[in-house]
Each structure stands twice: as C-alpha cells, then as structure tokens.
Amino acid sequence: MKNIISQAKSVRERLKKLGPSVSPRVLDVVRSTVCSQMDVAKALLRDIDTDCECSEPDMELPTTNILFEGHVGGAVAEQLNLAAACWRVADVDILVEMLTVPFLRVEAQQVFEKAIARGAFGEHSVVMVLERRHTQRLIMDSRCHLNGLQSAEASLAGSKNNLMSENDDDFPVVLGLAEVLALSRDVRVREFVSTLYAVMFKVYCGDVYRERMLRGLVEHVTNNAHTPADVELGIDILTFLVREEEGTARPVLCMMHEAVELANADRATLYQRLRASEEEITLARTERQGEINNLMKEKLTLSQKNIEAENAQARLKVSSFSLFAAYTMSSSAIASHDLNFSCEG
C-alpha cells in the first residue's frame, strides 16, 4: 500500500510539472487506471486532498478572464498565463473522472469542495478540462460513426445507444457536482458555483444541456425547502446567465411561468382540500351539537322523572306515616277498651 501511495504521489508530481501540456493519451491512461483500480484511485484522491502547495490563483498572471473575453495579448504571454493558471489541470481531470465512478463520486465531490475552498483550483483548469473532455468525446463519437462501428442493428436500436451516450457523458456528474457545491457554506465555494455554471453553459452548449441546467436552477429558486441564501445564489446565477448568454431570458421566463402555474395549481388544490376539511369540520360540529342537544333533552327528561319519583316517594312516606299513626292510635284505643272491660268484670 505504501508503494502505491508513493507511486501516486510521484505520478501527480510529474503531471503537475506538465501542467496544461499533458498529453491526452497520458490522461486516458490515468482515467483508465482510476476506473479499474480502486486502490490507485484512493491513493490519488488522498494525495490530491492533502496537497497544500500554492494554489492556482496564486500562480496566475494579472490578465483577464478567459471565459468571456477574447484575445488579450501575444502568444507568449498567453502561453505563460495558461501554464501558470492550469498547472493542476490533471488533478481536475482525475476528479472529474472519479465523479463518473459511483463508488468514488461522494469522496471526489468532498475533495473537490475542499480543494476549491482552499483555492487549489482555478476556473481556468475547470474550463480546460471540461472543454478537452467534451471535445474528445465528440471526436470519438465522430470517429465511431465514420468508421462504421454503428451497424444497422445499432441504428435500429438508436434510442438505446442515445441513452448510453448520455450516461457516458460528463455533464450529469458535473451538474451534480455544481448542485452539491451550491449547498456549501464556504464563500469561495459558492462563488465558484457561479463560475462552474458559466463554464458548463459555454462547454455544453446543446439545447438539452442548457434546458436541464436552467430548469434545475429555476426549481432551486422556486423551492421553498431551500434557505434564503441558497435561493439568492440561484437567482444570482440565473441573472448572470441571462445577462451574458443571448436567448436565455425567454426559456427562463417560460420556466418561471410554468413554476408559477404549478404553484397556483397546487394552491387551488390545497384550497379545495381546505374547503372540504372546513365543511367536514362544520358537519362534524353540527352533528356533535345535535348529539349534545339530544343528551341535554335526555338529561332534562331524566331530571324531571327523578323529581317526580322523589315527590312520589315523599307522598308515599307521608301516607305511610299517617297510616302508622292511625294504626298506633287504633291499637291504643283497643288496648284501653280491653283494660276497662277487665276491671268491670
């Protein structure tokens, strides 16, 4: 294991020295190794994570942003700026490749976030990596088509091949990375998210890609589950894209309109449910009040019967007392008469 770690460190040192001039074939070998040998991939991931050398932004020359500006000088100055700004381009490429491996995706996202937080990667490297990988994939697809590798059977199963092509693309995993980084609390990482979306908008210029990015941002902005800071970040990204990219405003407004309509439909559904619940509650209260009234009537009837029973009992007691008194007096009179009769005798 120690041998693998030292070899991974040595390979990265060589790749950093090559910087943007690293050969595509070399990167292909590294990518293949990352996808096929997990121990090597883990060693590279750990070495990238613990690399505390000076960051790319510290190495950049004071020139302009390559994203949205044109030619800025002579070829020599441009080459120097490129070499200084992209000396860790291989690290970015390795991490992007790891994002395509399900078992490494989460760790790669975490290492990417920490690297951005400490300023290890600049936007130049990300631009270069995504552009190169996307261009290389397009060239490979074109060659496959020209060499006749897409047979008649593959043409009949075109939908299946298209699905596989989409799954092999870097776009879904890079978009997933952007969505994960947007949840970070680090200011530098959140600023990088805006840059990453701008880069993706430039590199993945197809309508399907852009629609998916914009729809994700609109859903992010209109989702009540997100914090105000997350919503503000999404609004800033959308505002930037609308301002910089022609033709973006209309689809964004259409998606916003759809979100509003969906929210209104949900609101109408909730209102109907609320009305139904209120009616059920009112009906239940009415029925309960009716039951209470019936119970009160029964209670009143029972109370009346109880009073009548008590009165009847009282009258019965009076009658019994009168009868007992009359019986006592009668008994006394009879006894007195018998005594007088005996004396006379």
Alpha-carbon distances, residue 4 vs 30, 39, 42, 154, 186 (angstroms): 14, 8, 10, 41, 33
- Please check the confidence at residue 152 and state whether its pLDDT lies above 50: no
- Please check the confidence at residue 314 and state whether its pLDDT lies above 80: yes
Contact 66, 124 (CB under 8 A): yes
Query: What is the distance between the terminal CA atoms of the chain, rounded to a whole angstrom?
Result: 144
Average pLDDT estimate for 32-46: 90
Confidence of residue 60 (pLDDT cuts 50, 70, 90): very low
Average pLDDT estimate for 249-275: 90
Question: CA 225 to CA 248: how far, in whole Å?
Answer: 26
Question: CA 182 to CA 184: how far, in whole Å?
Answer: 6
Q: Which residue in this structure is represented by tokens 């997933």?
A: 176
Instruction: Report the run of H or E that residue 77 belongs to, with start and end.
Output: helix 75-85
Confidence of residue 169 (pLDDT cuts 50, 70, 90): confident
Mean pLDDT comparison of 60-74, 130-144, 229-243, highest-scoring range = 229-243
The string of pLDDT tens digits covering residues 181-236 is 988 888 889 889 988 998 898 888 888 999 999 999 998 888 877 788 888 888 99
Confidence of residue 136 (pLDDT cuts 50, 70, 90): confident
> Kindly report the CA angle at 77 between 72 and 80, in degrees rounded to 5?
125
**Amino acid residing at 44:** L
Q: Supply the pLDDT for residue 138.
A: 79
Average pLDDT estimate for 249-274: 90
Confidence of residue 246 (pLDDT cuts 50, 70, 90): confident
Choose the weakest-confidence range: 59-73, 234-248, 294-308.
59-73
Choose the weakest-confidence range: 123-132, 271-280, 291-300, 334-343.
334-343
Residue with the larger pLDDT of the pair 34 and 336: 34
Q: Supply the pLDDT for residue 270.
A: 92
Q: Supply the pLDDT for residue 273.
A: 92
Contact 40, 87 (CB under 8 A): no
